[in-house]
């Protein structure tokens, strides 16, 4: 972080600004998480308003140099009601080693951090004792990667972290992108030795406890485990019928084989995030298996159309049994998907999956006909919207439909899915093997964003093409997060932030 980034020099000024930020955030009606871009915009708005107030302007000549510190404090105020509703025993206090007295500290270090001897030379033991009295956890270590792991492993649900602005600049984006409920307090001075922090303010944040208990945070691992069980052979046979012929045998093998199960997971997680229930309904189960039937069918047909011989490191169905049998197996899976959904009382599930099916086929058709059409970015983006976007959108919409409520979220999820799908496909093109960076004339190329940029900008170097692809990927990544700004459903918003990070991070 450059030297221009500072924090308010006195405790009085810091606390004055914190009170002003609290009042400002209360007027914004924000639901966490918020993106780094939105935090920066909020900080800039606060600066514009605060500089008009003589009480603040007389204390600080300019607030612009405080932008990073203001972003951290705004983030704190947005998350504070949520963290306050999480029990103390589900919180973690993370302190930096540099709070100890350099040259005097006799503490040892293990794999988890500093083992304090409570010699009384610094504030570390006082803060740790305060946390432990409340039933919480504390560690003295550097780096927030450990925190992400503790959150994902369900050891804690929230973190209160103390660090210098330099370290926060590196770690803070991790907390934001992973939508970790947390508060961050910047040290009052830089350097790696004998630092200080507003101890009373840290103790105030540690002690916060609201009567309004935060809803139980989603257990993603538990959802993954439940979804995985649905794709075991016995479970599948209950919905798809036992294998009584070669086609059904192949379909069951294909469905129970390799796969990330992203679509059934998203569908189930959306439903759980909105309902707060952990016991999945029959409709959720059916819709999750059905959406995977359609996905697996599309993979079989893709392999035939692209004449691919391997998938998941194994021979494709067309490689093993021929194109005709593979087409038939894919069609059988489509039929199974419609049959499973037809057993539900929710007719909208059929409409949603049918609309996505038609849109995907249109996108695939455009891709297959690409040799007859100029390969421009508009053309390629249109393929992405028809072929890649529906795969994300249909899972979210099916989960939403299973709740029987929350119709106001449809346009938000639609915009989010479009941006996410485009960013995902751009990232995929960007990360393709070097042999995919082929010349425009190559008949083996598919209509990728790489090929489109090479066609539109024949003088660009490979590095210039890659740079533009990265810019576009980042743009749609941010657009996906921006689409969630109007969402007030905390757990769904956290879920989609985390999904975005896993897919695009």
Least confident span in 14-28, 42-56, 431-445: 431-445
Beta strands in 126-283 (DSSP E): 137-140, 158-163, 182-186
Of 488 and 212, more confident = 488
Report residue 305 as tokens: 């159309």
Give the pLDDT band of residue 257 (cuts 50, 70, 90). Answer: confident
Give the pLDDT band of residue 3 (cuts 50, 70, 90). Answer: very low
Give the pLDDT band of residue 56 (cuts 50, 70, 90). Answer: low
- Give me the pLDDT at residue 137, please: 87
- On the question of pLDDT at 60 being above 90, the answer is no
- Give me the pLDDT at residue 1, please: 38
Q: Map residue 113 onto helix, strand or coil.
A: strand
- On the question of pLDDT at 231 being above 70, the answer is yes
Percent of the chain with pLDDT over 90: 47
d(CA 409, CA 259): 28
Question: Measuring CA to CA, how many Å separate 465 from each of 426, 446, 478?
Answer: 12, 16, 20
Handedness of CA 53, 56, 58, 61 (dihedral sign): negative
Of 217 and 268, more confident = 268
| Mean pLDDT value across residues 1-18 | 77
Extents of the domains making up the chain: 11-207, 218-345, 351-505
| Mean pLDDT value across residues 179-196 | 81
Residue recorded with tokens 């576009």 = 472
* pLDDT tens for each residue of 119-161: 656 678 888 889 889 998 888 876 666 677 777 777 888 889 8
* pLDDT tens for each residue of 310-330: 888 889 999 999 999 999 999
| Most confident of the following: 8-12, 360-364, 413-417, 496-500 | 413-417
Least confident span in 140-144, 378-382, 433-437, 489-493: 433-437
Residues whose CB is less than 8 angstroms from the CB of residue 61 and which lie 6 or more positions away in sequence, other chains included: none
Q: Map residue 147 onto helix, strand or coil.
A: helix
| Most confident of the following: 165-174, 334-343, 372-381 | 334-343
Give the pLDDT band of residue 215 (cuts 50, 70, 90). Answer: low
- Give me the pLDDT at residue 340, please: 93
- Give me the pLDDT at residue 419, please: 96
- Give me the pLDDT at residue 414, please: 95
Report residue 227 as tokens: 């979804």
What does pLDDT average to over the chain? 85
Number of H helices and number of E strands within the chain? 22, 8
Residue recorded with tokens 């003589």 = 54
Report residue 410 as tokens: 């449809």
Handedness of CA 412, 418, 421, 427 (dihedral sign): negative
Nearest to 490 by CA among 75, 78, 53, 40: 78
Residue recorded with tokens 């560690």 = 139
Of 220 and 286, more confident = 286
Give the pLDDT band of residue 444 (cuts 50, 70, 90). Answer: very low
8 A C-beta contact, residue 403 and residue 348: no
Of 356 and 213, more confident = 356
Neighbours of 34 (CB within 10 A): 24
Nearest to 162 by CA among 138, 132, 133: 138
Q: Map residue 95 onto helix, strand or coil.
A: strand
d(CA 9, CA 4): 13
d(CA 204, CA 92): 15
- Give me the pLDDT at residue 459, please: 92
d(CA 407, CA 391): 20
- Give me the pLDDT at residue 442, please: 47
Give the pLDDT band of residue 117 (cuts 50, 70, 90). Answer: low
Question: Measuring CA to CA, how many Å separate 241 from each of 238, 317, 332, 421?
Answer: 6, 20, 12, 33
Same fold, 218-345 and 351-505: yes
Report residue 367 as tokens: 């891709």
- On the question of pLDDT at 260 being above 80, the answer is yes
- Give me the pLDDT at residue 133, please: 92
Q: Is the peptide bond before 428 cis (omega within 30 degrees of 0)?
A: no
Q: Which CATH architecture has domain 218-345?
A: Orthogonal Bundle (1.10)
Nearest to 383 by CA among 451, 454, 321: 451
Nearest to 295 by CA among 260, 248, 341, 243: 260
- Give me the pLDDT at residue 443, please: 40
8 A C-beta contact, residue 462 and residue 451: no
8 A C-beta contact, residue 396 and residue 464: no
Burial class (CB in 10 A: 0-12, 13-18, 19+), 2: exposed
Q: Is the peptide bond before 372 cis (omega within 30 degrees of 0)?
A: no
Q: Which CATH architecture has domain 351-505?
A: Orthogonal Bundle (1.10)
Q: Which CB contacts under 8 angstroms, 24+ apart, belong to 278-282?
A: 278/219, 278/222, 280/226, 281/402, 282/344
- Give me the pLDDT at residue 396, please: 95
């Amino acid at each position: 972080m450059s030297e221009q980034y500072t924090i308010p020099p006195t405790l009085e000024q810091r606390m004055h600004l914190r009170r002003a930020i609290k009042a400002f955030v209360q007027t914004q009606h924000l639901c966490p998480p918020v993106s780094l871009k939105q935090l920066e915009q909020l900080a800039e708005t606060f600066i514009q308003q605060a500089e008009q107030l003589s009480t603040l302007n007389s204390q600080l000549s300019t607030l612009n140099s405080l932008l990073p510190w203001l972003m951290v404090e705004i983030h704190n105020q947005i998350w504070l009601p949520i963290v306050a509703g999480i029990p103390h025993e589900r919180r973690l206090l993370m302190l930096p080693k540099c709070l100890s007295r350099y040259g005097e500290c006799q503490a040892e270090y293990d794999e988890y951090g500093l083992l304090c001897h409570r010699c009384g030379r610094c504030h570390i033991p006082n803060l740790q004792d305060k946390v432990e009295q409340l039933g919480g956890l504390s560690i003295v270590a550097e780096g927030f990667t450990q925190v992400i792991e503790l959150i994902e492993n369900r050891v804690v649900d929230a973190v209160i972290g103390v660090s210098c602005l330099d370290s926060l600049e590196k770690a803070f984006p991790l907390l934001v992108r992973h939508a970790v409920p947390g508060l961050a307090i910047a040290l009052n001075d830089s350097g790696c030795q004998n630092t200080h922090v507003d101890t009373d303010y840290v103790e105030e944040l540690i002690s916060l406890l609201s009567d309004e208990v935060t809803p139980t945070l989603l257990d993603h691992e538990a959802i993954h485990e439940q979804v995985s069980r649905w794709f075991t052979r016995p479970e599948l046979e209950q919905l798809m019928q036992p294998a009584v012929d070669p086609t059904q045998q192949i379909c069951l093998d294909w469905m129970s084989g390799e796969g990330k199960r992203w679509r059934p997971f998203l569908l189930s997680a959306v439903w759980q995030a909105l309902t707060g229930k952990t016991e999945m309904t029959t409709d959720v189960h059916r819709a999750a298996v059905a959406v995977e039937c359609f996905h697996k069918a599309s993979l079989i047909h893709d392999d035939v159309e692209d004449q691919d011989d391997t998938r998941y490191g194994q021979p494709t169905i067309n490689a093993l049994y021929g194109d005709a049998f593979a087409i038939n197996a894919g069609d059988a899976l489509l039929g199974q998907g419609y049959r499973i959904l037809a057993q539900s009382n929710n007719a909208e599930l059929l409409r949603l999956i049918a609309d996505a099916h038609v849109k995907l086929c249109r996108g695939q058709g455009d891709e297959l006909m690409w040799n007859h059409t100029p390969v421009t970015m508009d053309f390629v983006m249109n393929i992405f919207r028809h072929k890649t976007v529906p795969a994300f959108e249909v899972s979210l919409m099916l989960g939403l439909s299973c709740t029987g409520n929350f119709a106001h979220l449809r346009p938000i999820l639609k915009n989010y899915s479009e941006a996410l799908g485009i960013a995902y496909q751009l990232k995929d093109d960007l990360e393709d093997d070097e042999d995919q960076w082929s010349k425009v004339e190559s008949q083996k190329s598919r209509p990728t964003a790489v090929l489109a940029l090479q066609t539109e900008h024949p003088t660009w170097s490979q590095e210039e093409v890659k740079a533009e692809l990265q810019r576009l990927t980042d743009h749609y990544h941010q657009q996906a997060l921006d689409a969630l700004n109007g969402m007030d459903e905390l757990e769904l918003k956290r879920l989609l932030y985390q999904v975005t990070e896993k897919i695009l991070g």
